[in-house]
Chain A
Amino acid sequence: MASLKLENISKKYPNGFHAVKNLNLDIKDGEFISLVGPSGCGKSTTLRMVAGLEDITGGKLYIGDKLANDVPAKDRGIAMVFQSYALFPHMTVEANIGFGLKIRKVDDKIKREKIQWALKLLDLEGLEKRRPSELSGGQRQRVALGRALVLDPEVLLLDEPLSNLDAKLRIKMRTELKRIHKKLKSTIIYVTHDQAEAMTLSDRIAIMNKGKLMQVASPTEIYNCPNNKFVAGFIGSPPMNFIEGSVEMIGDDYVFNYNGGKYTLPKNIHQVIKEKIKGKDVVIGVRPEDFDISLQATDNAIKGVSSVIETLGSDDYVAVEIGKQLISVRIEPGSTFPLDQDVYLIPKANKIHMYDNAKD
């Protein structure tokens, strides 16, 4: 097992495309870290640079405390599971799992033991002689994982390993992965575009967008204190509501002007405004569960019109129109809520996020 340090890592392709920009990331020994972001954000490129499949065009990569920029992939002590699993179709399960050991000329007896260990760990016993084409999606996925694990990697790299599975199996494998990580305590870098996967699995999440690292933090922290609008909008389902408007100082208070009304912001956000907000145009972000919604007119509230109800089973959400903006508010499940009525929303004071609404 090893720690990992990415120092100002950049990837610029010959055609000028800047896939990853000055990425800094410290990964602790035994940590499960997820790289998340929309497609094309540079997360897979980062993973491939760590794996040694792509040249690092700028910055330094340390595996353990060794500079690894120019170390060939096979000597980095890493193992990787591809999105496509990349199982060798002409080899049996056994041969697939043993492939790396065979190349490393591991003693035959140890090789056998290792393969058995992996088969047992991943519940693949009895399938040794099958070919990948004779396996189900979940089994293939486990073979790919086993093939990586038998090499005792310092760092295990997983590139969207669950994305080819159906929804039910994906959730099962999620638990499985967590169990394996708990048992083996390996350092894992996990790339996914699915924020829910990242939230449930990781010790820490690194969110990327357009080649830049947006925030690195634990799932709870990232959920509760997103650094910027992108992170706030990316994490959480249904996503955080954003209301555009402007902020101005009236007397002692900051007042938020939105399309259709004014809302006096609570005191505890003053510090944030002073520190982070530069311009007048802002957006405030509130998660659907962080509103108090009422039909009675209230002094200081955001006013809107209820329009439709969405039912998810465990929760119900009501869509509220505020001018031309549509936001979603969680309500008691199963309750009937009058539609096409004026509603008054009061965000929970310590759950309001505010960001500059600069066009980026």
Chain B
Amino acid sequence: MKKKLNKEKVIWLIMIILCMAAVIFPIYIMFKYSISDRTSWITGGKYPIPWWPNKPTFEMYKYYLADTRFWGNAFMSLQIALLTVAICMVIGAPAAYSLSRFKFSAKGVLIFLILSIRLFPDISSVIPVAYTFNVSFLYNLPPVVKVALAHSVLGLPYVVYIAQGVFETIPVDLEEQATIMGASKLYAFTRIVLPVALPGLAAGAIYVFLLSWNEFVFSYFITATSSVSIIPLPVYLKSLFGAFSPNPVSVATLSLLVSLPVILFTFFVQKYMISGATAGAVK
């Protein structure tokens, strides 16, 4: 009996190490390229590409971190992501609350409508959305706002879906108690329900933040047509390896710089991400 248990444990350990390796390997490759010397690439197929960094150097990092354009783009990405989170939470959380609390006949239709926008392929919906932003009265909005508004279309269904699950876990008793004690619906929502729901809602906010930070298609189509030179980081990265002979060290370095904040972020918020999924996912 005991021996069998150990065997299971060993298999489990091996599997977990293999899975971690599968996840980390590409990230390692990126890291390796980013600190390799440029010359290592030019050998081009003659020798095997080394698995270890060739003459490690932080040259490229120094270059990007001193580049104002990089910082400008990074700042834009951050602004977009935060604005998207704000829009999605402010609009999505109250709607999710009402959808979870009130029983009315059109509820299913409303939820379906909110989620159904995700049926459109991004590449199909980006054209009308970009067109609307660039032709209508919205033209004069700053690019940050335009992109954030577009990302909110993608993020809102997630927030509504997750937040609805979170609100359903909060007992109605709390609000009824507050109501009896004299609180208005709005007061009960902002002072009782929201604070209790906050950890769960954080999950929604985190997903939307990641979504916005990582999003490429909408960012690309909306900013490509504007004359401003500041663009979100994913678009900036694409512009690098879209060239005919991309410089791998440069691509890898920028890739890592774009990913690093979200990688660190994930380590801090993984607990919320798990609990958010538990609240919203399976039903």
Contacts and interface: CB of A to CB of B under 8 A. Distances in A.
Asked if A and B form a direct contact in the complex, defined as CB atoms under 8 angstroms apart, the reply is yes
Nearest to B192: A88
Contacts of B187: 103
Measured as residues with beta carbon below 8 angstroms from the partner, the interface class of chain A is 20 to 34
A88 B179 CA distance: 13
Interface string A73-102: 110001110111010111000000001100
A86 B187 CA distance: 16
A141 to B, nearest CB: 14
A90 B180 contact: no
Contacts of B181: 74, 79, 99-100, 103, 147, 151
Given A84-B171, A104-B182, A89 B177 contact: no
A165 interface: no
A88 B174 CA distance: 7
Given A86-B171, A86-B174, A103-B187, A80 B180 contact: yes
Given A74-B181, A103-B182, A86 B196 contact: no
A164 to B, nearest CB: 12
Nearest to B181: A100
A88 B171 CA distance: 10
A53 B174 contact: no
B67 interface: no
Contact of B179 (A53, A84, A104, A147): A53
A100 B195 contact: no
A199 to B, nearest CB: 27
A174 B181 CA distance: 24
Given A88-B192, A90-B195, A74 B180 contact: yes
A52 interface: yes
A356 B262 CA distance: 76
Contacts of B180: 51-53, 73-74, 78-80
A278 B179 CA distance: 50
A82 B177 contact: yes
Contact of A53 (B176, B183, B195, B196): B176
A86 B183 CA distance: 14
Contacts of A53: 176, 179-180
Contacts of B8: none
Interface string A126-170: 000000000000000000000100010000000000000000000
Given A74-B181, A74-B183, A82 B196 contact: no
A103 B184 CA distance: 9
A150 B177 CA distance: 14
Interface string B173-216: 11011111111000100001001100000000000000000000
Contacts of A80: 176-177, 180
Contacts of A73: 179-180
Interface residues of B, number: 15
A100 B182 contact: yes
Contacts of A90: 195-196
Contacts of B182: 74, 100, 103-104
A86 B173 CA distance: 5
Contacts of B179: 53, 73-74
B195 to A, nearest CB: 5
Nearest to B179: A73
A84 B174 CA distance: 9
Interface string A39-54: 0000000000001110
Contacts of B177: 80, 82, 86, 88
Contacts of A151: 181
Pick from B177, B178, B183 the residue with the most CB of A within 10 Å: B177
A50 to B, nearest CB: 11
Contacts of A86: 171, 173-174, 176-177
B96 to A, nearest CB: 19
B169 to A, nearest CB: 12
Pick from A53, A86, A147 the residue with the most CB of B within 10 Å: A86
B178 A82 contact: no
Contacts of B195: 90
Interface string B137-176: 0000000000000000000000000000000000101101
Nearest to A83: B173
A88 B170 CA distance: 11
A52 B179 CA distance: 9
Contacts of A89: 196
Nearest to A101: B181
B23 to A, nearest CB: 36
A165 B179 CA distance: 25
Contacts of A103: 181-183, 187
6 contacts: A73-B180, A82-B176, A82-B177, A88-B192, A99-B181, A151-B181
Given A51-B176, A79-B180, A103-B181, 6 more contacts: A51-B180, A80-B180, A82-B177, A86-B174, A103-B187, A151-B181
Interface of A: 51-53, 73-74, 78-80, 82-84, 86, 88-90, 99-100, 103-104, 147, 151
Interface of B: 171, 173-174, 176-183, 187, 192, 195-196
Q: Which 10 A-B pairs have the closest CB atoms?
A: A100-B181, A86-B173, A74-B182, A86-B177, A103-B182, A90-B195, A82-B173, A73-B180, A84-B173, A86-B174
